[in-house]
Amino acid sequence: MAVRLFEAKEHASAYWKYRVSPSEKLTKNILTFFKKNSDLLGEVAVDVGCGSGQGTALLGPHFTQVVGTDISPAQLDLAILHNTAANISYRQCPAEELPFRDESVDLVTTLSAFHWFDHPRFLQEAHRILKPKGCLAILNYGLDMELSYGDCSEELNHICKEFYAALQPHRHPKLGDSTLTLYERVYNTLQYPVKEWQPSFWDRLQVSISKYIGMVQSFSAYQNLLKKDPEEAQRLSHDITRRLMSVMKVTSTETEVILGVRYFYLLACKP
């Protein structure tokens, strides 16, 4: 049974507005693995659990056809609304039943979504639709994001850690203590001889404090707290925002900081 946590329109909008996409450097790592290990031309890429399409859009320039798939109509509505590329389309379907022919896809990606799927069934589907020498890229990032600003980064990160610790009890049980462990286990058990594991790849980007807070608010743990106790959720994010601004000695939530996002991922090539 799929976990359907991303269906509300407001949650989908928060995704579109606040979620980060992988940098050019990270996208290049995936494409380099694909080109190095595959002799395929790059006809079809499928991004599973694409949400509002941030990761899907990055594949557009590199493949003839790109399809983003997701179970949530609200997420897909936004992906379609913001899509500007003629070679990208979106389809609603579960990750465990992908509407593609056997051996018809060059690259299957999934960003920050695999942990929600039925893992064995998705891996079986990905295997079925991948062409021989097609590649699989399964990526996620942790909640352990870091902020840098002037000489107060250490203090900021102390506050951020309190924010994450307050959200920890509201994580969905399917996620366990850490999705990193899950991804590493999948890497270790995947029966593809050519594969690569990256446990820590830091992407750094400039964002406003409000975007950082919005991003944490889009995580499922915050959304769970918001459902259970909206006042506490609001109080927590207001308190964190106020304390970050006080340490930075700024008065606008539009003040920019450097946000460090730690990705981990596995790349693998079907024999």
Residue by residue, DSSP assigns 196-234 as: EEEEEEEEEEEEEHHHHHHHHHHSHHHHHHHHH-HHHHH
CA distance 143 to 113: 14
CA distance 230 to 248: 27
70 binds ligand SAM (CB under 6 A): yes
Out of 27, 55, 123, 259, which residue is the one contacting ligand SAM (CB under 6 A)? 55
Out of 117, 183, 212, 263, which residue is the one contacting ligand SAM (CB under 6 A)? 117
Closer residue to ligand SAM, CB minimum distance, 11 or 270: 11
Out of 2, 8, 85, 258, which residue is the one contacting ligand SAM (CB under 6 A)? 2
Output the smallest distance, CB 137 to ligand SAM, in A: 12
The count of other CB atoms within 10 Å of the CB of residue 252 is: 10
Output the smallest distance, CB 5 to ligand SAM, in A: 7
Out of 71, 79, 88, 209, which residue is the one contacting ligand SAM (CB under 6 A)? 71
CA-wise closest residue to 6 among 115, 144, 162:
115
Q: Which stretch binds ligand SAM (CB under 6 A): 2-10, 197-205, 208-216, 222-230?
A: 2-10
Residue by residue, DSSP assigns 41-61 as: ---EEEEET-TTSHHHHHHGG
CA distance 119 to 140: 14
Closer residue to ligand SAM, CB minimum distance, 49 or 214: 49
179 binds ligand SAM (CB under 6 A): no
Contacts of 119 (CB under 8 A, 6+ apart): 182, 186
Output the smallest distance, CB 97 to ligand SAM, in A: 9
Out of 38, 75, 217, 237, which residue is the one contacting ligand SAM (CB under 6 A)? 75
113 binds ligand SAM (CB under 6 A): yes
Q: Which stretch binds ligand SAM (CB under 6 A): 31-39, 46-54, 184-192, 231-239?
A: 46-54
111 binds ligand SAM (CB under 6 A): yes
Output the smallest distance, CB 232 to ligand SAM, in A: 22
Output the smallest distance, CB 189 to ligand SAM, in A: 20
Under DSSP, is residue 248 helix (H, G, I), strand (E, B) or coil? helix
Q: Output the CA–CA distances (angstroms, integers) from residue 248 to 110, 147, 235, in the order listed.
A: 36, 11, 20
Closer residue to ligand SAM, CB minimum distance, 3 or 194: 3
CA distance 264 to 271: 23
The residues binding ligand SAM (CB under 6 A) are 2-3, 6, 15, 19, 49-51, 54-55, 70-72, 75, 94-95, 111-113, 116-117
